[in-house]
Chain A
């Protein structure tokens, strides 16, 4: 069978955010899935402008007032995405007194995020880290406060972003023989079904593999696809290091029929999920 094998190197998540948090006392709150919500928030803060830009064209944000709010948050999000070292996650219940975050009182200060707000309890009382759509919602609440919007407006926008990002999101857990674990999440535009992010996380970082998929899944003419839509993510074998996803590309203005794409993740010798190497294999047509 003719197969196309490609390897891609990934860019890691926003390093200053992680370093700042290592120094600032952030970290995991539970043994299970520790650090995941922090990683998801780091991704959300770094990528929020892109999500806001796409969401602005969606029916969920059609209202003129929402558009104005969205614009205000986007301006803040864009500025803040360039200085994520000014955000710190802090474990101090007394300091926050129930608040999700504290904004800096002076320009040079840190934005402090309440660690416990990133691990809310679900209906059964269990602690659950924020997933990526929820982290995007958290980021919207954070920057809407900084943009000076009323908290009710911020919450409304936050709920809409969570719905926007989770409408076509899929998640699959990765657990390689108990050696290393992580999560694979696929986020897609609810209206166009185009992929917005293909996120792989271990306990420390979140990386977006979508650029690697774009590079691997080119059009027949060799050019990158104008749009890429991925769906129906699932593992293909035990151990679950191999995944399958259905892919459709838009080439020269029209969508091509969906095809199966396979990819594999690896564990490193230190028993963490390797986020730097990815093998994407496209099944022959």
Chain B
């Protein structure tokens, strides 16, 4: 049965709030960002001069910016891949009939309730080279106390661990929900056919979980690219020697510390286009493998 609106204007009237809100908070700022990116400016336009594409030229010719791009891609890749694998594994374990499963679930989902800045602060203490828990354990096991803040690779590792931990809860919730939606009959049928745990996983669980996984993939990439700025600011401020200078942090520095909003707007556009392109590629490739059932 299909309901019909009386009159042509009514549907648009219903859409109006969404259009107004999207226009005010998404399209208008986006247009402004585009405009600002073509200006050399001080304090969001307290003073400005049209420079065309100069800001983009500055960025693509800057070795620091290109390096930040490489660091970000590597960081995002590791955070997404390790984060998803780990949370999937944990979700499969948690989905079994365990004692204290509820308590375990809650404690694993908990980190998501913390903002990236708070997560950063917690891990900052844990990774403290002299008094942190991490080095205490490493010292007992291996007899060394690595300096997580002076070595670029270690600092990036530390940031990746924190980023994965912080988003683990979110991924877990979705994976768990997905797992619990797999019809019991499929699993019973598999058991009757004598499938092992790994076979069940490979032929039933993973295909049925593909929509969830795909959704989480897109969300996690966005998380790694955009939500980690607070973490970086608290933990490393992009250092040492820019080893953890993510694109979003460079944007923050240029926009809010150097009062260079034109350059920051250009970076914001680059980031935006980058993530859009990445998402489109995923829909074309990984997206085709997703099985939505029905």
Q: Do A and B come from one complex?
A: no
Chain A residues engaging chain B, CB cutoff 8 angstroms: none
Chain B residues engaging chain A, CB cutoff 8 angstroms: none
